[in-house]
Chains A and B, each alone.
Chain A
Amino acid sequence: MNRIDKKSPFKVPDNYFDHFDERLTQKIKTKNSTNGLITPHGYFMKVESEILNKIVYPVQKAQAKKKHLWKIITAAAAVVALFYFNKNIFTPPENQLAEFFIEDYLTYNNTYEIADYSDYYFETDNFLENYESITIDDVLELRLYGETPTNLNLFDDE
């Protein structure tokens, strides 16, 4: 027995005891950092997907705009075609009136408004009646006061 060295054969990493207290305190603190407050099981996985579902990336927005653009182009083309093919039926008080009207309509309304208005435009039976009620003076007066043709309520439901 006396021949056996009493010195411990076990070793520890260098400077192991130097910062032991600090590390232990840190560990206890980390463990208790929520101080009893807990979350539902799997909450952090769930919340991540919930947040991501609420985010709309601009790329998607751009795609939506592109989709909407086709509607706008189609609507605008249809408006122009309608005026072109029906110019004899309308028999506007002045030829210039139609030009003024279309020009103002396209100038003062943004593309989204045009698309929205055109939906109603194609549905209404009263368009011809409304159209005929406008005179060249009305349009010129509107221009003079900086008003827009939409103020004539041509496309309003009311």
Chain B
Amino acid sequence: MEQQNQFIEALTSPDTQEVAFKKLLNDYKEKLYWHVRKIVIDHEDADDVLQNTFIKVFENIHRFKGNSSIYTWMYKIATNEAINLLNKKSRQLGVSNEEWIEKQVAQLESDIYFDGDAMQLKLHKAIAKLPEKQRLVFNMRYFEEIKYEKMSEILETSVGGLKASYHHAVKKIKNAINE
């Protein structure tokens, strides 16, 4: 915690913030990118969200209270930004977020930024059919292996609720893959 406080201080002090922000960017850009990419699927959208996330982190670092880890705080911002983008895109097309994601996944086969095999495509299609909360929980638990306690802080949901969401998500995905 002491180390984090020092780092936050470095991020807010004019003399040190440039170096500190570069470190933050270097440490988290890939983790946050993959977190966001699994939510929005499209690379260009993930790129937009990632850039907005870091800019918001920089602009609001003085508001960070230090109640959680900076990693949790950044994940929260990235998740919100990604969901906001989904809301915006789906609203523009007059469809639901789930329908928008299914559409994105349907285009994956021809996406130059996808090199998965048939099984991976099937998994993406199954994940895309999940309701938003279950999709988020499944991605964070299965791919990123984020602990339920951390996830609970990021998604502001009880650990019990998250476990139930993951359980339902796994069940639905198994069924979809075995179809």
Contact = CB atoms under 8 A, between A and B. Distances in A.
Interface of A: 29, 32-40, 43-44, 47-48, 50-52, 54-55, 57-59, 62
A51 B34 contact: no
B150 interface: no
B18 A40 contact: no
A47 B22 CA distance: 12
Contacts of A58: 14, 17
A59 B29 contact: no
A37 B37 contact: yes
Nearest to B50: A47
A38 to B, nearest CB: 5
Nearest to B143: A33
A154 to B, nearest CB: 38
A40 B14 CA distance: 34
A54 B38 contact: no
B76 interface: no
B14 A59 contact: yes
B55 interface: yes
B14 A55 contact: no
Contacts, number: 73
B120 A35 contact: yes
Interface stretch (B63-71, B94-102, B111-119, B151-159): B111-119
The size bracket of the interface on B is: 20 to 34
A84 B135 CA distance: 73
Contacts of A51: 25, 29, 50-51, 54-55
B34 A47 contact: no
Interface of B: 14, 17-18, 21-22, 25-26, 29-30, 33-34, 37-38, 41, 43, 47, 50-51, 54-55, 58, 108, 113-117, 120-121, 123-124, 143-145
A7 to B, nearest CB: 40
A35 B143 contact: yes
Contact of A44 (B33, B121, B124): B33
Contact of B115 (A33, A38, A50): A38
A58 B29 CA distance: 22
A37 B114 CA distance: 5
B51 A50 contact: yes
Given A44-B29, A47-B29, A47-B50, A55 B114 contact: no
Contacts of B41: 37
A48 B143 contact: no
**A33, A39, A51, A54: residue with the most chain B Cβ atoms closer than 10 Å:** A51
A36 B116 contact: yes
A34 B144 CA distance: 9
Contact of B43 (A39, A50, A52): A39
Contacts of B123: 35
A47 B120 CA distance: 26
Pairs A-B, 5 closest by C-beta atoms? A36-B116, A36-B120, A51-B54, A59-B14, A38-B113
B55 A55 contact: yes
B54 A34 contact: no
